[in-house]
Amino acid sequence: MKMGITIIIIGISMFAVGLVMFYSIEIGQDDPGLRLVKNIGTFVGLSGMGVTLAGILLYIINRNESQLKENYDA
């Protein structure tokens, strides 16, 4: 498997984990531990979006393009 695809999968899983961490805690919680989990979920979700974008760009850069064969007659 190419490295770009692997990074895309990791980024999507990070985004999903961040969503679960963020939305599993109700808004308005006063417990500092739960607020920390919600803030970590925000960070992990946003980081997952960045990792996914990096994987997409890496995949686009590294894919094999067909070689152009042009015959020039002098």
In tens digits, what is the pLDDT along the chain, a chain of 74 residues? 688 899 999 999 999 999 999 998 887 778 888 889 999 999 999 999 999 999 999 999 888 766 666 666 65
CB 8 within 8 A of CB 56: yes
Distance CA 63, CA 71 (A): 25
Take residue 14 and report the two structure tokens written for it.
Answer: 């990070």
Is residue 23 assigned to a domain?
yes
Distance CA 4, CA 2 (A): 6
Give the number of domains in the chain: 1
Is residue 20 assigned to a domain?
yes
Distance CA 44, CA 70 (A): 48
Is residue 17 assigned to a domain?
yes
pLDDT of residue 72: 67
pLDDT of residue 74: 57
Is residue 70 assigned to a domain?
no
Is residue 72 assigned to a domain?
no
Is residue 38 assigned to a domain?
yes
CB 52 within 8 A of CB 15: yes
What is the pTM assigned to this prediction?
0.77
